[in-house]
A and B are shown apart, each in its own frame.
Chain A
Amino acid sequence: RKEVEQDPGPFNVPEGATVAFNCTYSNSASQSFFWYRQDCRKEPKLLMSVYSSGNEDGRFTAQLNRASQYISLLIRDSKLSDSATYLCVVNAGANNLFFGTGTRLTVIP
């Protein structure tokens, strides 16, 4: 079983739509969680950390569900510029950082 699993998509949504991605992790001892964004042929960039209480940054909301071992990313009012691959990253401690394969989002005009 993979440490981190994501639906690869693609998710094709119209501008202005709300879209949500989930990411499941296998290690219940995982300590910290992150979402990264990766544009085509570019490097990953940290989008946001995921806190136990959930956190919001503008149109982006990240949540953690420890009981079911998943994290989520919600994007409201999608923009064309949101088109990218979103990587889920889980820190299982002791430098065990696991990257998901990513979920591809395309926002359509």
Chain B
Amino acid sequence: NAGVTQTPKFQVLKTGQSMTLQCAQDMNHNSMYWYRQDPGMGLRLIYYSASEGTTDKGEVPNGYNVSRLNKREFSLRLESAAPSQTSVYFCASSDILGQGKLFFGSGTQLSVL
């Protein structure tokens, strides 16, 4: 099983550029999440999707949009990247929303210059 697949692994953007991070899971999980991880801070929730067709804001949603394309896929879009969005991004999934047993993708290292 691939688990949670996340692309790309690395990306460098210029301020103002846009990009979409892709995430897919093959575990038939209902809930999916996007987190960012910054030095000295715990993982922070950007957006989540409790189930197919629903999305909700997390702790730090500003500057991001998401799409739950189907049960497997959950994408994160930066419409106009800013240096403050330089971070490592992780997609995750779980069978039950908020249960704490998350499966993470391998992460995307994003630098915004």
- Mostly, the B contact residues are loop
Contact among B98, B103, B104 for A95, CB-based, below 8 A? B98
Residues of chain B lying within 8 A (CB to CB) of residue A43? 90, 104-107
Chain B interface residue count, CB cutoff 8 Å, equals: 20
- Mostly, the A contact residues are strand
Please report which residues of chain B, range 17-60, place their CB below 8 angstroms from some CB of chain A when the two chains form the complex.
Answer: 40-45, 48, 50
Contact among B45, B99, B103, B107 for A42, CB-based, below 8 A? B107
Against B, the Cβ 8 Å flags (1 = close, 0 = not) of A41-60 are: 11111100100000000000
Whether B101 and A95, one on each chain, are in contact in the complex, defined by CB atoms closer than 8 angstroms, is no
Q: How far is the CA of A79 from the CA of B1 in the complex (A)?
A: 28
Residues of chain A lying within 8 A (CB to CB) of residue B48? 95
Q: Is B110 an interface residue (CB 8 A)?
A: no
Per CB-CB distance, the 9 closest pairs between chain A and chain B, nearest first, are A95-B98, A99-B42, A43-B104, A99-B43, A91-B100, A34-B100, A101-B42, A32-B100, A43-B106
**Can you list 29 residue pairs at the A/B interface with Cβ under 8 Å?**
A8-B40, A32-B100, A34-B100, A41-B107, A42-B106, A43-B90, A43-B104, A43-B106, A44-B43, A44-B90, A44-B102, A45-B104, A46-B101, A87-B42, A91-B98, A94-B98, A95-B48, A95-B50, A95-B98, A96-B98, A97-B45, A97-B98, A97-B100, A97-B102, A99-B42, A99-B44, A100-B42, A101-B40, A101-B41
Contact among B42, B98, B100, B105 for A102, CB-based, below 8 A? B42
Q: Is A89 an interface residue (CB 8 A)?
A: yes
Whether B99 and A98, one on each chain, are in contact in the complex, defined by CB atoms closer than 8 angstroms, is no
Measured as residues with beta carbon below 8 angstroms from the partner, the interface class of chain A is 20 to 34
Q: How far is the CA of A33 from the CA of B99 in the complex (A)?
A: 9
Q: How far is the CA of A93 from the CA of B97 in the complex (A)?
A: 10
Residues of chain A lying within 8 A (CB to CB) of residue B107? 41-43
